[in-house]
Structure 1
Amino acid sequence: MNSRRNKAILFKREAAAWNPLSRALLMTLTAACLAAVCASPALAEPDEEALGKSLGYPNGPRWTAMENRVGAWSALDRVPGVLTEAVARGNSVLPLPRASVPALIKYRYRNLGYTLDEYLERRRITGLLILKNGEIVAERYRYGRSEDARFLSFSMAKSVTSMLIGAALQRGLIASLDDPAGQYAKDLQGSAYGQTPIRHLLRMSSGRTFTERYDGQDDVSKLSRSFATGTPTVASVLRSFSDRHSLSGQKFVYASSETEVLGRVLTGATGRSMAELTSDWLWKPMGAERDAFWCNGRDRQAGAYFCFNASLRDWGRLGVLMANDGKLGEQQILPADYLREATDAALQPAAFAPYKATPYFGYGYQFWLHPLKERSFAFQGVHGQSVFVQPATGIVMVQTAVYAQASGHQDPEPYAERAAFWMGVLQSLGGRTERY
């Protein structure tokens, strides 16, 4: 648009050397050109009609339906039947000033170069926030979303749960990560998960068989149905998983059930809800801008594995806190040693390192570890949710999305391009991208 406008202005200036009739004609044509430029419609956002634009981006009643995803996944507390518990913010807000000099974000994908805006035009992104040393480099909202939206985490909640485990450990409410989960989660005592050390649950290495294919017939679907209906109870479903695929602590196998156990460890160890803990241990000391919320199951226990909801900027503040190893100003909000062990690929046992835990990522304490020489890690959730962090360079990227498929196993393209975009963000902002 800018290049067309500039050409029209240039033509207008050149007309000064022409006769009055030619000048008048050209000025008329120039005015028409500028009017056409200004009146041209905005580009359509990817799949906007399938995602419910003409319906006003509704949020229910089926909040997983394609046409409801944009609306519901940014306002799940307004969906009928969903139980939520507020996470109250404090009186002070951590400023996120805008960078004084705009940064040009570029990246390459499949041997072609693209810009940040082109990335947004190619993928179903509802919110994008990029920070450098606590300053906003870029902030975008799409599909009618705005700064007051509180975006659903899906499995980014797992990383929040890990942060709370670290805070409980710091306070002595959890004595040791080598304690069995059932020592704190009384409703799981005597079960396979109850006998599993907390550390092994943090690494998703209980060795217990749990299927997670996102096909509606797997174990995570069974767990989610019990969460939503209360029949059978979540605790009884968790107790039912007893088959073993490997020895405890030896192998990473992704299992949302293990995070749900950790949530019960937290509430059992503290006698408080996940929402209360998140408010007092994270949201208030971190300087959150808006209240957040957890979704609760019928037993009033928060969905530790998938259902935390927060604004884009507050997701960014969580990333900044992690980039600072849990410290804000002079206050150590979270234990630095725990966070290093949770997020540093170099500190993981060999089986949990990048290229070993998975073909690409390593896995720490509920954090995904990038295969970069410079410590870099991520909160990640299905359908494209992510917070990427590189502490040494102060770079944080938050993305909320409504990808069509839950995982890269089902549709690798959006996830591969997101990885390429993150590398481009690092390169554009002076980050470090050397791989293992």
Structure 2
Amino acid sequence: MSPRAALLLAVLPLLALGGCVPSGSMKAPQAAASAPGIRSNPGGPDLDRYTNNAGQYPRATPATWWQPVYSVDGFSRLDEIFSARVVSRAPAPRPWRRAAAEPALQYSAPPMRGGGRYDIDGYLARNPATGLLVAVDDTIHVERYQYARSDAHRMVSFSMAKTICAILVGLAVADGAIASIEDAAERYAPALAGSEYGRTPIRHLLTMSSGVRFREDYDGRDDTVKLSRAMLFGPGGAGAVKQFDTREAVPGARWYYASSETQVLGLVLTGALKRPIADYLSERIWQPIGAEADASWVIDRTGQETTYANFSAVLRDYARLGMLLANGGKVGTQQVIPADWLREMTRAHFTSTQTGRWFGYGFQTWVFPENDGSFALLGVRGQTIFVDPQRRLVMVHTAVRPDARDAGGAEATALWRGLRQHFPRRAG
């Protein structure tokens, strides 16, 4: 163990007792008390990358939160660093059961990660996961935290938020606020009138096939940086996406991943609903699933939610969302998400060959290439919800991977495959 890592383990108990929460847009998270069966690690792999010279997880700021050394704090406190809107929890949480023991499983690490066989302990020793939760039906089988994170921390979603946005579009259609996904975006977001995104049908925004030029390569100079700067530090609103206004293909002709398309969907939702997206999410999803803690969504200067990213929630509520999807959009007997919309969301409108990403793509949702009904919500730097409806199996994974293209994502998928082998398909 390096001197920095040793110092970290020595000072963490003091930080937990004496730390204070700085002022921010939201108060420190409130969640149900820690339950038996939760396992926490004050450290984690590669501590020197994530701690300062004093062996501490340094506090992130708007200027530093993306850097690896600040990411442990920044990724679990983003709604205090930036302005955010509350997604209110349910009056009474929907309870979880607890398995008597964690599953004794092994998985095969991919060759790009050196191969070998590992169990859950081995996975966490090799990967900078801040949280890992595995649930089947109403039972939690694994709940782990690292880097002094806990079940009270709201972990950032990054692009997992895109799938949440697509769910809300479906609900807005069911409620009649959006007449048809064949409508052009500008019908509901008049500030986009006359722009290429404004002329794009909602359907093709949902499938990332608008045909509007947008480069998302995570090299620090791409269009994602321009979008994020406009949303988090600039004027926000429609101007954040109108800067991308060159059409390269007709809508629906090609697939290209672009966070701007989800932000356009957010503008459509705001215009159609005529109320904050966070409030609608609370009413239609967060409270019906019995969420135990308030969630949050970062907003720009206009009050618009950054629907392409920056949603935050505690792990057990992410798992409740995942189980809603695994159960065909139902909570108990209540159909929360229309079943036909969920089927459209989670089938491959573009195949893995067309995306070039191993996954196929549905409505803002990644579809496993087996096309067996399993799918994923994915965010950069290791944020993941994997869903297998046939097994009623959900894996929630939050992390501080140092790079957006980190190969560790392949190992998370390998762990998921190990879980699928361990848990049988469910009847019915």
Sort the TM-score into its range (normalised by shorter chain): 0.7 to 0.9
Structure 2 stretches lacking a partner, 5+ long:
1-40
Counterpart-to-counterpart distance in 2, 1:373 and 1:176? 27
Change (3 A) 1:113 1:209: same
Question: Which whole-Å CA distance do the structure 2 matches of 1:135 and 1:167 have between them?
Answer: 27
**Of 316, 324, 328, the match for 1:325:** 328
Cα contact 1:134–1:394 (8 A) shared by 2 = no
Query: Aligned letter for 1:50?
Result: R
Alignment equivalent of 2:197, drawn from 193, 197, 216? 193
Aligned residue number for residue 255 of structure 2: 252
Rounded to whole Å, the distance in 2 between the matches of 1:431 and 1:64 is 39
2:231 matched to 1:237?
no
CA distance in 2, matches of 1:237, 1:130: 37
Q: CA deviation at 1:383?
A: 0.3
Q: State whether residues 59 and 76 of structure 1, in contact with CA within 8 Å, keep that contact through their aligned partners in structure 2.
A: no
Is 1:173 matched with 2:172? no
Give the 5 Å matches for 1:53-92.
Answer: 54-61=54-61, 62-79=64-81, 82-92=82-92
Matches within 5 A, 1:33-52: 45-52=44-51
CA RMSD of aligned residues (A): 1.7
Alpha-carbon displacement from aligned partner over 1:169-218 (angstroms, at most 9, x marks no partner): 11111111111111101211121101101110000000111011112211
Is 1:364 aligned with 2:372? no
Amino acid corresponding to residue 89 of structure 2 in structure 1: R
Q: How does 1:19-38 map to 2 (within 5 A)?
A: none
For residue 374 of structure 1, report the CA deviation from its aligned partner. 1.7
- Partner secondary structure for residue 301 of structure 2: coil
Partner in structure 2 of residue 426 of structure 1? 420
**TM-fit CA distance, 1:417:** 1.1
Distance 1:263 1:359, change over 3 A: closer
| Counterpart-to-counterpart distance in 1, 2:237 and 2:88 | 26
Match of 2:144 in 1: 140
Deviation at 1:325, TM superposition (A): 1.5
Structure 1 CA distance, aligned partners of 2:55 and 2:238?
39
Which has the larger share of helix?
1
User: What is aligned with 2:410?
Assistant: 416
> Does the 8 Å contact 1:230/1:299 carry over to 2?
no
Match of 2:289 among 282, 286, 289: 286
**Cα gap change, 1:373 to 1:261, in 2 (>3 Å):** closer
TM superposition shift of 1:376: 0.6
Aligned partner letter, 2:287: K
How far apart are 1:430 and its partner, in Å?
A: 2.3
CA distance in structure 2 between the partners assigned to 1:380 and 1:333 by the alignment: 22
- Between the aligned partners of 2:320 and 2:232, the Cα distance in structure 1 is 30
Residue range with higher mean Cα deviation, 48-57 or 67-76: 48-57
1:242 to partner: Cα distance? 2.2
* Contact 2:78/2:310 (<8 A) preserved: no
Q: Which residue of 2 aligns with 1:129?
A: 133
Structure 1 pair 394–268 and aligned structure 2 pair: CA distance change class (3 A):
same
Q: Using structure 2 for the length normalisation, give the TM-score.
A: 0.85
Where 2:84 maps in the other structure, the secondary structure is: strand
- Between 109-118 and 140-149, report the one with greater CA deviation: 109-118
Q: Is the 8 A contact 2:352 2:361 kept in 1?
A: yes
Structure 1 position 68, deviation (Å)? 1.2
Q: Which amino acid aligns with 2:327?
A: N
What letter is aligned with 1:211?
R
Q: Partner of 2:313 in structure 1?
A: 310
Task: Tell me the SS of whatever aligns to 1:121.
Answer: helix
Question: Does the Cα contact within 8 Å between 1:170 and 1:334 map onto a contact in 2?
Answer: no
Question: Which runs of structure 2 are paired with 1:205-224 in the superposition (5 Å)?
Answer: 205-224=209-228
Counterpart AA for 1:131: A
Q: CA separation in 2, counterparts of 1:384 and 1:251?
A: 27
Residue type of the partner of 1:119?
Y
Q: Offset at 1:399?
A: 0.2
Is residue 155 from structure 1 mapped to residue 159 from structure 2 by the alignment? yes
- For residues 70 and 228 of structure 1, the distance between their equivalents in structure 2, rounded to whole angstroms, comes to 20
Contact kept in structure 2, 1:376 and 1:391, CA below 8 Å: yes
What is aligned with 1:183? 187
Cα deviation, residue 234, structure 1 = 4.1
Deviation, 1:49, is: 2.7
Structure-2 residue corresponding to 1:96 = 96
Partner Cα separation in structure 2 for residue 327 and residue 190 of structure 1: 39
Report the Cα distance in structure 2 between the residues aligned to 1:192 and 1:120, rounded to whole angstroms. Answer: 45
Aligned partners of 1:86 and 1:294 also within 8 Å: yes
What is the deviation of 1:167?
A: 0.9
Letter in 2 for 1:97: R
Alignment-mate amino acid for residue 91 of structure 2: N
Which position in structure 2 is the counterpart of 1:404?
402
- Aligned-partner Cα distance in 2 for 1:292–1:248: 34
SS at match of 1:299: coil
Equivalent residue letter for 2:78? L
Do 2:322 and 2:387's aligned partners in 1 also have CA atoms closer than 8 Å? Answer: yes
Contact 2:42/2:149 (CA < 8 Å) preserved in 1?
no
Residue 58 of structure 1: how far off its partner (Å): 2.8
